A and B are shown apart, each in its own frame.
Chain A
Amino acid sequence: MVIQENLGILDKLKILSDAAKYDVACTSSGTKRKGSGTGIGNCVEAGICHSFSADGRCISLLKILLTNECVYDCKYCINRCSNDVPRATFTPEEVCQLTIEFYRRNYIEGLFLSSGVLQNPNYTMELLYQTLCLLRTKYRFEGYIHVKAIPGASPVLIEKTGYLADRMSVNLELPTAEGLKKLAPHKSRRTILAPMRQIQTMRQENQYDLTVYRRSLRFVPAGQSTQMIIGATPENDLQIISVAESLYQKFQIKRVFYSAFVQVNEDAALPTLPGGPPLLREHRLYQADWLMRFYGFEAGELLSEKRPNFNVFLDPKCDWAIGHLEQFPVEVTTADYHTLLRVPGIGVKSAKRIVQARRYGSLSFEGLKKMGVVLKRAVYFITCSGRMYYPVRLEEDAIVRNLLAGEKQDARMEVPKYHQMSLFDDTMPFADLPNMR
């Protein structure tokens, strides 16, 4: 361990933002708050991304650790205590200064404060609380604050912090308890789930208080989120999205984040990933996550025990639709909102626009295009006033082939050719195609 003293604030910023970058959640959504007129800051419901870093991820919050010193030795983590990396610790005052100065210049939407475990969970949580308290009271900061709840910290501290923050999160770290035991021996499922449950219960009580006594303080108004590492342990996609689904249902989590495992440490317990982080897999999981949160899909519909992993070539929605061709084509002029949502190429916005627009008159394919429907994908699954855009054979292989070809060119499907049936049919169409699913 390199011991450096008298680090400047910018040196600390470099060390502690570098240490925090593997945390994925950087959203500032979920709270709508007008400025009080005497402090600094407000919150916008949808959140604001202020910049995008070289890896294409959004920069919304000042994402830093309070300290990267840690007593734990989690195998996947850059800050594990057995790693030899430069260590630094911010004082609460320094964090506040940086936050305010960055916020004033419209660099950031607020603060994302996480921390390594210094001494013990309670001591660390106390420091986090002090920082937030200083920022909210002395600096009168009214922007967004996302803070980590340290597993194992006292419920009192978590409660006090929750009244100052907009969002809190406890990292699930790995999708299964076995994985956690293997890679993060100092953490356990129980200590992780306890604060999650506490935040959920307190939020519910707070909702009640808010309706009864209007001016009550708000507890974690933007809800809680969590994240798990993908690809460090051998779980399949079905297990991961089932865990996410139960978190959404049982813990009322606002967001589950998936972070493709980046190999920062050499350790026998960790997999080697010669192809780099599993980014495509992460992408498919996010797509499925959106389907579960906004499109009314269930984990069990998207994947099954037989097919526990996502299709590499097709997005989960197309993949589902192709497996359920009996429900298509959908007539866009009459289908209800929830049915429209299940059509590939139609999203939440375009489905809403379709429902609105058909009150004023008939729809056309040109009109659908204007409303934002991606016809490239949707043509195989919709009819408009009883007609398809062009003749389409509702057949699994044919659609898959055209969807994949459509990635490069707008290949129109050929009109089906009919031929005389015979007992010994050797002209199976597309028999030579590899099975994509």
Chain B
Amino acid sequence: MTVFLCEDSVCGILTGVYDAWDSRLGHANVKLALKKGYQPEFFTDCREVGPDAEKADKVLRTLDRKMYLEDFEALYQALLSADDQKADDIYRMIVLALHTGKKLIHALEHPTIFRIFRMARKTGREAGHCCEFLRFRELEKGILFSVIAPQAQVLALIGEHFADRFPMEHFMIYDKTHQAMLVHEAGKEWVIWEHIEAFDETKLKLSDNEKEMSRGWQIFFDTIAIQERKNEKLQQQLLPLKYRPYQTEHLEKEEKCALFSK
């Protein structure tokens, strides 16, 4: 058994797929794993695979041509997921898709397909939650800034949504977990900056209007609830606690604000 260790990124995993296939060792004799957190096993042979944009691009072009769109979407979401076993499942799914030429994602009885389906669903849900629960704060000069801490690399999935929504705004979404930043300049395409280290969001300065508007939102949030119907369990079920530190309505006081201390 030969294990191909790849980097946890779309490019890294797809390069792994290319090299594993290209090694001609036979699909049963190769395995893909993520480099980070890999535990060496007995009787295996490890090969490290660095990300190679050209190889990844070749795989992508093949998939674009031969794979059903629905399958490809699921595969892409699985590529972004936080699952540490994802690399091998992605390889198996690609092998299956190219060999059978069928639409796969509905065959949930197949263990690989089911795992891909589950990863894609989880990533998709998290991206959806980010579109819902993410909050922008206005900085000086009217730039909108937001911090999120998702498990999966959702920035690539939510960029389109916000760029379509705010075409005339400058906005930035900082992904704390993966140290990446989505940047959109008014009237232009959005981009993702990766490997942002030593970024301190607490140094940013809020605009004057921001304080009034966030207070307005907190007032609205509190008054809109009907006391006679109070049900915090239901609230927590629908709005998980992990999103709350980043939400304007749950910052108790401006001074205590987790994002932007004065």
**A→B interface (CB under 8 Å):** 9-10, 13-14, 17-18, 20-22, 34-35, 37-42, 44, 48-59, 62-63, 98, 101-102, 104-107, 143, 260, 262-263, 276-277, 279, 353, 356-357, 359-364, 367, 370-371
Please name all residues of chain B whose beta carbon is closer than 8 Å to the beta carbon of A371 when the two chains form the complex: 108
Contact of A59 among B131, B164, B224 (CB under 8 A): B224
B59 contacts the other chain (CB 8 A): no
Given contacts A14-B219, A105-B213, A357-B108, contact A55 B231 (CB under 8 A): yes
Report Cα–Cα, A310/B249, bound state, in Å: 38
Report Cα–Cα, A364/B221, bound state, in Å: 46
B62 contacts the other chain (CB 8 A): no
Please name all residues of chain A whose beta carbon is closer than 8 Å to the beta carbon of B151 when the two chains form the complex: none
Please name all residues of chain B whose beta carbon is closer than 8 Å to the beta carbon of A53 when the two chains form the complex: 221, 224-225, 235
Report Cα–Cα, A364/B106, bound state, in Å: 15
Cβ A42 vs Cβ B107 within 8 A:
no
B169 contacts the other chain (CB 8 A): yes
Report Cα–Cα, A263/B229, bound state, in Å: 11
Please name all residues of chain B whose beta carbon is closer than 8 Å to the beta carbon of A42 when the two chains form the complex: 164-165
A-contact bits for B132-168, CB 8 A (1 contact / 0 none): 1111111000001010000000000000010011111
B109 contacts the other chain (CB 8 A): yes
- How far apart are B115's CB and chain A's nearest CB, in angstroms? 10
B191 contacts the other chain (CB 8 A): no
CB contacts under 8 Å to A, within B200-223, are 209, 212-217, 219-223
- How far apart are B25's CB and chain A's nearest CB, in angstroms? 29
- How far apart are B211's CB and chain A's nearest CB, in angstroms? 11
Nearest 3 Cβ contacts at the A-B interface = A56-B234, A356-B106, A53-B225
**B→A interface (CB under 8 Å):** 106-110, 114, 131-138, 144, 146, 161, 164-169, 209, 212-217, 219-235, 237-239, 247-249
Given contacts A104-B166, A105-B217, A357-B108, contact A14 B235 (CB under 8 A): no
- How far apart are A298's CB and chain B's nearest CB, in angstroms? 30
Contact of A106 among B106, B146, B221 (CB under 8 A): B146
Given contacts A104-B169, A262-B229, contact A10 B108 (CB under 8 A): no
Please name all residues of chain A whose beta carbon is closer than 8 Å to the beta carbon of B215 when the two chains form the complex: 10
Cβ A54 vs Cβ B216 within 8 A:
no
Cβ A48 vs Cβ B144 within 8 A:
no
Main SS of chain B's interface residues?
helix
Cβ A55 vs Cβ B229 within 8 A:
yes
Beyond A56-B238, A107-B248, A277-B229, 11 additional contacts (C-beta under 8 Å) are A50-B132, A50-B133, A51-B132, A52-B238, A53-B221, A55-B234, A55-B235, A101-B216, A104-B169, A107-B249, A353-B106
Please name all residues of chain A whose beta carbon is closer than 8 Å to the beta carbon of B165 when the two chains form the complex: 35, 40-42, 143
Cβ B231 vs Cβ A104 within 8 A:
no
- How far apart are A346's CB and chain B's nearest CB, in angstroms? 15
- How far apart are B225's CB and chain A's nearest CB, in angstroms? 4
Report Cα–Cα, A258/B131, bound state, in Å: 28
- How far apart are A283's CB and chain B's nearest CB, in angstroms? 11
Cβ B168 vs Cβ A38 within 8 A:
yes
- How far apart are B207's CB and chain A's nearest CB, in angstroms? 11
Given contacts A98-B216, A364-B109, contact A105 B135 (CB under 8 A): yes
Report Cα–Cα, A10/B209, bound state, in Å: 13
Interface centre among B135, B212, B217, B248, by most chain A C-beta atoms within 10 angstroms, is B217
Given contacts A13-B219, A54-B230, A262-B226, contact A367 B169 (CB under 8 A): no
Please name all residues of chain A whose beta carbon is closer than 8 Å to the beta carbon of B229 when the two chains form the complex: 55-57, 260, 262, 277, 279
Given contacts A9-B216, A53-B235, A370-B114, contact A40 B168 (CB under 8 A): yes
Please name all residues of chain B whose beta carbon is closer than 8 Å to the beta carbon of A22 when the two chains form the complex: 226
Contact of B225 among A38, A41, A44, A54 (CB under 8 A): A54
Q: Which residue of the partner chain B has the closest CB to A55?
A: B229
Cβ B107 vs Cβ A54 within 8 A:
no
- How far apart are B167's CB and chain A's nearest CB, in angstroms? 5
Report Cα–Cα, A59/B131, bound state, in Å: 14
Cβ B213 vs Cβ A18 within 8 A:
no
Cβ A21 vs Cβ B225 within 8 A:
yes
Cβ A35 vs Cβ B230 within 8 A:
no
- How far apart are A230's CB and chain B's nearest CB, in angstroms? 13
- How far apart are B240's CB and chain A's nearest CB, in angstroms? 10
